[in-house]
Structure formats: structure tokens, C-alpha cells
């Protein structure tokens, strides 16, 4: 049996609706994990084994609001760990730069020789 990653877009109007949708999905048979994604935090990403996406979508429609399946894909057993964003000499790489825009200024965390990432907790300031 293969693990599946299912993305369901749900019409979510408030945080209460979001947590209700997450509870519904998390309690479904075969679901191992649930995450919220999307610009409007309206996509439920669930990973599980033997999950019926159509049935789950119907349940969400009845109890939460309009819902539809964005995608269903198989998850390979050996998942590679996500690489952290590159950090160069205490400067975190900012937004992606596009050739048609001027270069992005880097986001500088380390100032005044302080080793703490937050400028507010720096003892020198």
C-alpha cells in the first residue's frame, strides 16, 4: 500500500472553520498528517494510506463549505529532508530576484557584532 498526498481546497471563512475542517480531515480513516497551505491558508494537505479523497471532499462540503480536490499524488517511501534556505555570512537570502526588477536588498540579521538573530535582544544596543 502506498502513501498518498492529497491537496483539497476548501472555502474557509474563519479560523473556527479552518480548525473544524482540519479536525474532520485528521479524523478520517488512513490520514497520518494534515497541514494547511496556500496563500489564503485554504488548502488542506493530507498524507495517508488508503484515504478516499472523494468521500472526504463530500464530507467537507456538507460540514464546512465548498471543497474540491486540487491533486492526489503518490508519496515515495524515501523522502529527502528539506534543505534549509541558504545563509551566507549572517545574511539571510531574501525574496527571489527576477531579472526585470532591480536586485533585492539582502535581509541582514547580524548587526553591531551581535550573535543573536533578533535585533531587540542584542545586549550592545
pLDDT digits over 51-102, tens only? 999 999 999 999 999 999 999 999 876 545 566 666 555 544 454 444 455 5
In whole angstroms, give the CA distance from residue 68 to residue 100. 36
87 DSSP β-pair partners? 92
In whole angstroms, give the CA distance from residue 70 to residue 55. 14
Residues 30-52, mean pLDDT to the nearest whole number: 93
pLDDT number for residue 116: 47
In whole angstroms, give the CA distance from residue 103 to residue 98. 8
Residues 92-113, mean pLDDT to the nearest whole number: 50
The dihedral through the CA atoms of 72, 82, 3, 10 has a sign that is negative
Amino acid at each position: 500500500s502506498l502513501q498518498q498526498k492529497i491537496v483539497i481546497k476548501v472555502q474557509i471563512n474563519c479560523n473556527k472553520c479552518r480548525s473544524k475542517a482540519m479536525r474532520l480531515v485528521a479524523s478520517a480513516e488512513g490520514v497520518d498528517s494534515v497541514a494547511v497551505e496556500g496563500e489564503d491558508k485554504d488548502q488542506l494537505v493530507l498524507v495517508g494510506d488508503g484515504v478516499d479523497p472523494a468521500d472526504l471532499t463530500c464530507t467537507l462540503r456538507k460540514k464546512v463549505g465548498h471543497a474540491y480536490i486540487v491533486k492526489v499524488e503518490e508519496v515515495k517511501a524515501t523522502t529527502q529532508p528539506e534543505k534549509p534556505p541558504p545563509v551566507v555570512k549572517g545574511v539571510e537570502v531574501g525574496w527571489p530576484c527576477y531579472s526585470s526588477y532591480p536586485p533585492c536588498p539582502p535581509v541582514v540579521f547580524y548587526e553591531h557584532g551581535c550573535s543573536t538573530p533578533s535585533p531587540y535582544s542584542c545586549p550592545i544596543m
